[in-house]
Chain A
Amino acid sequence: MKKNDDNLNLLLLQFMDEAQAQRFQDDLSVADDLYDSHPAEPVSPNTVSAISTQIQHELKRRHIWTIAEWCTAAAAVVVMALLAGLFLLNSSPSANQLPAGGFQTANAQIWSDTPIANAIETDPIEQELSALTKDIQSMSLDAYGSTNALTVDLLEIEEIEAFAEDTSFWKG
Chain B
Amino acid sequence: MQHELENLIKNCKKGDPEAFNELLNRYSNRCYGYFFRLTKRTDLSEDLLSDLFIRVFRKISSYNEGSFDKWIFSVASNLFRDYLRRHYRQKRLLEEKAELIRQKDNGCKTRPEIFDQLDLALAKLDPETAEIITLRYYSQLSFKELAELRDEPIGTTLSKVHRGVKKLRHVMENS
Contact = CB atoms under 8 A, between A and B. Distances in A.
B108 interface: no
Contacts of B161: 28
Interface string B103-129: 000000000010011110100000000
Contacts of B28: 43, 47-48, 51
A47 B137 contact: no
A19 interface: no
Contacts of B45: 43
Contacts of B138: 1
Contacts of A40: 32-33, 36-37
Interface centre among A3, A38, A41, A51 (most CB of B within 10 A): A51
A39 B143 contact: no
A55 B140 contact: no
B154 to A, nearest CB: 8
Contacts of A59: 15, 17, 20, 57
Given A11-B143, A43-B29, A51-B28, A34 B168 contact: yes
Contacts, number: 109
B36 A31 contact: no
B169 interface: yes
A55 B20 contact: yes
B118 A38 contact: yes
Given A1-B140, A35-B137, A30 B21 contact: no
A39 B49 contact: no
Contacts of B113: 41
B174 interface: no
B1 to A, nearest CB: 12
A55 B165 contact: no
Contacts of A15: 155, 158
B168 A52 contact: no
Given A11-B143, A58-B57, A31 B168 contact: yes
Contacts of B46: 43-44, 47
A134 interface: no
B44 to A, nearest CB: 12
B29 A35 contact: no
B162 interface: yes
Contact of A31 (B17, B117, B133, B144): B133
B9 to A, nearest CB: 15
Interface of B: 15, 17, 20-21, 24-25, 28-29, 32-33, 36-37, 42, 45-46, 49-50, 53-54, 57-58, 113, 116-119, 121, 133, 137-138, 140-145, 154-155, 158, 161-162, 164-166, 168-169, 172
